[in-house]
């Protein structure tokens, strides 16, 4: 089972670089909500600057995809961010994963997710998520690194583990009343 802590989780999130209204909205938010805000702002800025974010086909389990949708609806209403979409959560989760120091850390996480899902009968379906160019390139690189060490097919498990971790931390921040 994925826990809410990873050895490479972000300790802080700098919201100072966000646009004024969003910075004000998120300045007192905890780490993971700050990270979500940064991904949201980057996507909005990319749209207006005509910088292309990348659409990637990623396999996310149905139960996790549903949890993402529910979290997105709840946050969109509470934060009053009409443009907040599920892709921002996936992008933020991958940003956390980029903090890993080695491919071995990521492989361990992917293997743990696979082992937790062994008896799971739910399916995962490919969905297209819009990712920052940095995260799109990173997931391709990590996938190649995993294949190079003989762990083919682990990308979906890694993505699911990172998304599950990210959602667990959002939930923990809410439970602590930090939201």
Residue 4 has a pLDDT of 42
Q: What is the pLDDT of residues 3-42, one digit of tens each?
A: 445 544 554 455 555 556 666 666 666 678 878 888 888 8
88 Cβ contact list (under 8 Å, min separation 6): 36, 39, 40, 43
In a domain, 77, yes or no: yes
Q: Which two tokens stand for residue 147?
A: 């294949």
Threshold 0.85, pTM exceeds? no
Q: What is the pLDDT of residues 72-118, one digit of tens each?
A: 999 999 888 889 999 999 999 999 999 888 888 999 999 999 998 88
Q: What is the pLDDT of residues 135-149, one digit of tens each?
A: 999 999 999 999 998
The residue that leads in pLDDT, 43 or 148, is: 148
Q: How many domains does the chain have?
A: 1
In a domain, 6, yes or no: no
In a domain, 25, yes or no: no
Domain residue limits at 119: 53-175
- 78 exposure class (CB count in 10 Å sphere: 0-12, 13-18, 19+): exposed
Residue 2 has a pLDDT of 39
Residue 8 has a pLDDT of 47
């Amino acid at each position: 089972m994925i826990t809410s802590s990873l050895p490479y989780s972000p300790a802080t999130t700098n919201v100072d670089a966000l646009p004024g209204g969003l910075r004000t909205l998120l300045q007192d938010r905890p780490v993971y909500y700050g990270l979500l805000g940064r991904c949201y702002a980057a996507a909005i800025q990319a749209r207006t600057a005509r910088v292309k974010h990348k659409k990637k086909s990623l396999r996310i389990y149905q139960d996790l995809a549903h949890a993402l949708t529910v979290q997105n609806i709840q946050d969109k209403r509470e934060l009053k961010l009409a443009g907040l979409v599920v892709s921002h959560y996936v992008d933020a989760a991958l940003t956390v994963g980029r903090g890993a120091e080695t491919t071995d850390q990521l492989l361990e996480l992917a293997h743990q997710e696979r082992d937790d899902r062994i008896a799971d009968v739910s399916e995962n379906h490919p969905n297209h998520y819009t990712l920052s160019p940095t995260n799109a390139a990173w997931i391709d690189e990590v996938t190649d690194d995993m294949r190079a060490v003989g762990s083919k097919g682990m990308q979906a498990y890694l993505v699911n583990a990172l998304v599950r971790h990210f959602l667990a931390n959002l939930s923990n921040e809410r439970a602590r009343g930090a939201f």
